[in-house]
């Protein structure tokens, strides 16, 4: 009975880990797209040069 519970627990853990990793990949792709759009669509400053759209 205990080995069966351990196997089921391991399967549940691996399924949850796989879901979290897949979710993190989607978050990374969304952040990359937002960064690229902000990099391309940044506004021009008062002197006519392109300014940084981020703060750091």
- Give the 3-state secondary structure of 15-45: HHHHHHHHHHHHHHHHHHHHHHHHHHCCCEC
Q: What is the pLDDT of residue 37?
A: 84
| C-alpha dist (Å) from residue 33 to 27, 28, 41, 46 | 10, 9, 12, 27
**pLDDT at position 26, please?**
92
The full set of domain ranges for the chain reads: 1-37
Between CA 35 and CA 53 the distance in angstroms is: 10
SS3 call for 50: strand
The low-confidence residues of the chain, meaning pLDDT below 50, are none
Q: What is the pLDDT of residue 45?
A: 57
pLDDT of residue 52: 61
């Amino acid at each position: 009975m205990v080995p069966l519970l351990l196997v089921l627990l391991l399967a549940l853990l691996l399924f949850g880990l796989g879901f979290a990793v897949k979710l993190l990949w989607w978050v990374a792709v969304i952040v990359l797209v937002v960064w690229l759009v902000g990099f391309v669509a940044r506004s021009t400053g008062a002197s006519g040069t392109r300014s940084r759209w981020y703060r750091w």
